[in-house]
Chain A
Amino acid sequence: MTTSSDLQVAKRSTADVRLVIGLTIVFCVISISLLALIWTPYPALKVSVGPSLAPISLSHPFGTDVYGRDVLSRVMAGGLPVIESCVLALVVSVPFGVFLGTLSAWMKDTVVDFAVSLVIDTLYGFPALLLAITLVTVLGASTFVAAISVGIAFIPSVARVIRIRTRAIIGRGFITLARTYGYSRRSITLGHLLPNLIGTIVNQAMLGASLTVLATAALSYLGLGTPPPTPTWGEMIQEAQGYVNVDPKLLIVPAVFVAATIFGFNLLADHFSSKQKRARR
């Protein structure tokens, strides 16, 4: 792998562009969602704050929907369940995934590794949306159920990546050295391994967040996510589908928010994976 120095500079700058754009998008989404907690231009649930299907104007920057609700307020409020789901899903998937991944890497070729692999393979067969639909059928639709099931479905992806990275790191000299000093596997994992896995973990977390936004948008579009009256982007898209010939912007606004949020998280994931690759060289 011989790359000239200018090429590396060029690569680094595109990676940084990704970081900047990704962070900007994610930061904007999080801040307008949090802002919706204390302030929206109009109450997000209140009907007839303006005329029905109003066009874009100063008083309604994104217009109003068929019930005269302010679209901007609803989009802002719709960001909240997204952020909530992402946090919940990551709280489930990242710790479990990292634990299972490091465990099976340390216990390579033992019964433990075999058992963990079997569990990972099994869960890997359940796509996030499918697991969510199954759990929603039994437990009823809620943000919590949707987010937790996406989180569970993402555990195997995290575990697999962490396992491969951990195996590679364990083979390196500083781990062997720590072993000769007599450190236990647990203290090596916490003190030496995890700091080296941070990039991978952040990369996986961003991918997980992107998957969560996608899956929860699809779920609420199907009416299986956050139940009404809370506005969600998916539900707004579903409502707009009926009026697409009258007012396509009702569809475009929430769709752009969904796509942009996923895009932002994907850019961050890309940034952290390319950073790792550079570090490995």
Chain B
Amino acid sequence: MAIVRHLAKDSAKFSKTAPIRKRASRSLTKVVLRLVATLFLASLVDFLVINVLPGSPGQVILGTQATPQRVAELNKKLGLDAPLFHQYITWVTGLLTLNFGRSYSSGARVAPDIRQALQITLPLIVGGLVLGIAMALPLAFLIYRTSKTRISIGITLFLDAGVSTPSFIIGLVLTYIFAVRYTLLPASGFTFWSTSISGAIKSLIMPALSLGLVEAAIISRYAKHLIEEVMNTPYVDAARLRGRRDTWIFLHHGLRNITAPLLTVIGLEASGLLVGAVVVENVFGLPGLGTLLLNAVENRDLILVQDIVMLAVTVVTTINLLVDLSYRHIQPQLRQEIL
């Protein structure tokens, strides 16, 4: 009897769930609530990791040898003697008004530093992404056109290797080729936009290329599936019957139809690009967000670490949520591939 009731309950649940879930995903309020809840939890994790794990920030800044008295003094100076809850509220309300607090080491506001660093990191990430897509689509189409031949196997192997090479290693190899062997581009450093726009672009080419090559390898693997799929649709067959060539069809029909799922794939790469940028900036000595973060780690400037991590997590979480929403654009087969 109990089993029957159990099963009845289960089946009732199954029959009910599908429409409810669909409605839920359509409701914008629920999405926003989910985003807010996730970001709230993320900010708690970020805050607690920095402030609660062994010892107070004062202790971490001064090191283990410091006397408790000095730690207490520093904590008081930095406003870290207030109750944790109070500190958290101050920090979060500050973030919401883009007031990122004051540096523990220099006492200056950190917001201008972050803003300046973003002037490098954002173009770097966007540049890497654009280069990645620009290389991925032709490659993926080439694989499709040459499928089941040695060329496609060769390209696929090359891409597999590209996926496996960390972007900082690609960056170092590029440095060797373009800065050491042939002194075409600067090996490190950044010329600011205000000084010389062409100089800035020059110093961003190699870093963006290192990110872009890895992205190209990753994106083209998915793009290959998407292209195969779109080129098997009836409207492509119809276009072929009208005598159009595959390249023309791909440019006029295919590209438009793979854009939505492609954006989803690119969204999945958000965290990869961000993390890649952190390391690549270090390779090329670019004073971007990654360098700012690593300097903060070195100087024990915990508030800056906390801020930058939260900034990155906010971006990644938001994009992840958008990706989740866009899954309905993707064909079921590909969904399994990605998840």
Which A residues contact B (CB, under 8 angstroms)?
10, 108-109, 118-119, 121-130, 133-139, 160-161, 164, 176, 179-180, 182, 210, 214, 217-218, 221-222, 224, 237, 241, 244-245, 248, 251, 255, 258-260, 262-263, 266-267, 270, 273, 277, 280
Q: Report Cα–Cα, A237/B283, bound state, in Å.
A: 11
Number of CB contacts from chain A to chain B under 8 A: 151
Q: Is the CB of A127 within 8 A of B173?
A: no
B: contact size bracket: 35 or more
Q: Report Cα–Cα, A109/B10, bound state, in Å.
A: 11
The segment out of B37-45, B77-85, B110-118 that lies at the interface is B37-45
Assuming the contacts A124-B317, A126-B45, A127-B271, asked whether A266 and B176 have C-beta atoms less than 8 A apart, the reply is no
User: Which one of A127, A137, A267 contacts B305 once the chains associate, using CB atoms below 8 Å?
Assistant: A137
In the assembled complex, how far is the CB of residue A260 from the closest CB belonging to chain B, in whole angstroms?
Answer: 8
CB under 8 Å from chain A, chain B span 13-63: 13, 17, 20-21, 34, 37-39, 41-42, 45-46, 49-50, 53-54, 60
Q: Is the CB of B38 within 8 A of A122?
A: yes
* B57 (CB) vs chain A CBs: closest residue: A138
Main SS of chain A's interface residues?
A: helix
The segment out of B93-101, B157-165, B240-248, B252-260 that lies at the interface is B157-165
Q: Report Cα–Cα, A137/B62, bound state, in Å.
A: 13
Other than the known A109-B20, A121-B321, what 10 A-B pairs have Cβ atoms closer than 8 Å? A108-B13, A108-B17, A126-B42, A126-B309, A130-B278, A134-B49, A139-B53, A237-B172, A259-B169, A266-B164
User: Which one of B10, B316, B336 contacts A179 once the chains associate, using CB atoms below 8 Å?
Assistant: B10
Q: Report Cα–Cα, A241/B321, bound state, in Å.
A: 38
* B153 (CB) vs chain A CBs: closest residue: A14
Chain A neighbourhood of B271, CB < 8 A: 127
Q: Report Cα–Cα, A237/B3, bound state, in Å.
A: 62
* B17 (CB) vs chain A CBs: closest residue: A109
Q: Report Cα–Cα, A218/B20, bound state, in Å.
A: 44
Q: Is the CB of B317 within 8 A of A251?
A: no
Main SS of chain B's interface residues?
A: helix
* B324 (CB) vs chain A CBs: closest residue: A121
In the assembled complex, how far is the CB of residue A193 from the closest CB belonging to chain B, in whole angstroms?
Answer: 15
Q: Is the CB of A137 within 8 A of B160?
A: no
Q: Is the CB of A277 within 8 A of B336?
A: yes
Q: Is the CB of B297 within 8 A of A259?
A: no
> Is the C-beta of B180 less than 8 angstroms from some C-beta in chain A?
yes
Proximity string of chain B (261-302) to chain A, C-beta cutoff 8 Å, 1 when within and 0 when not: 000000000011011001100110000000001100100101
In the assembled complex, how far is the CB of residue A201 from the closest CB belonging to chain B, in whole angstroms?
Answer: 15
Q: Report Cα–Cα, A132/B10, bound state, in Å.
A: 41
In the assembled complex, how far is the CB of residue B95 from the closest CB belonging to chain A, in whole angstroms?
Answer: 15
Assuming the contacts A118-B38, A125-B316, A277-B336, asked whether A134 and B305 have C-beta atoms less than 8 A apart, the reply is yes
Q: Is the CB of B279 within 8 A of A129?
A: yes
Q: Is the CB of A259 within 8 A of B165?
A: yes
